[in-house]
Amino acid sequence: MARSWRIAAAVVGTLGLALSGGCGTRHSEPQYLYGVPNVEAIEVTIGGGSTVRVNAVVRGTVRDLCTRINSVRQSLDGSDFSLTLTTRRALADVCADVETPFEATIPLVVRGLEPGSYTVTAGDVSTPFEYERGGMAPQL
C-alpha cells in the first residue's frame, strides 16, 4: 500500500512539473532593447601632470530620450584605438521616437604607450592624435 502511494505521488509530481513548464528556467520576454549609437564626432583631450590622462570625447545621437549608453569596449591594435559603444533602453519606458544627443567621455588606456601618432575610431568616425609621454620620473 505504501508503494502505491509513492508511485501516485511521483506521477502527480511529474505531471505537475510538465504542466508548469518543467523545472528549467523560464523564458521571458526581453526587458531591454540594445543597439548602437550614431557617432558623429570624436575629440581627444590630453591632460598633463604626473600621470598623463587621455580621453576620447564621443558625441552623437541615440534613438530616443529613454536610450542610454550601456557599455564601451576599448581595444588597441598597433596605433589604432577602437571604441565599441552599445546602448540600452527599457522596453517598458514610453518615449517619443526623437533622436537625442549624447556625449560620452572615455578614458583611453595609455599605460606603457609609446609616444607617436594614434587614431581613435568609434562607429564610422575616426580622429588622429599625437601622444607624447609626459610626467616621466627623472633618473637618479
Place of cell 502527480: 12
pLDDT at 25: 54
Assess contact for 131 and 46: CB atoms under 8 A.
yes
The tens-digit pLDDT sequence of the chain (140 residues) is 555 544 544 444 444 444 444 455 555 667 999 999 999 999 999 987 777 899 999 999 999 999 999 999 999 999 999 999 999 999 888 888 899 999 999 999 998 899 999 999 999 999 999 998 744 433 33
Which residues does residue 70 pair with via DSSP β-bridges, in sequence order?
none
What region, left, alpha or beta, does residue 10 occupy, with left being phi > 0 and alpha being psi -120 to 50 degrees?
alpha
Find, among 29, 32, 36, the residue nearest to 62 by Cα. Answer: 36
pLDDT at 68: 95
Q: How far apart are CA 10 and CA 14, in angstroms?
A: 6
**Alpha-carbon distances, residue 93 vs 4, 31, 41, 100 (angstroms):** 54, 10, 28, 15
pLDDT at 26: 56
pLDDT at 140: 34
What pTM was estimated for this model as a whole? 0.72
Place of cell 520576454: 29
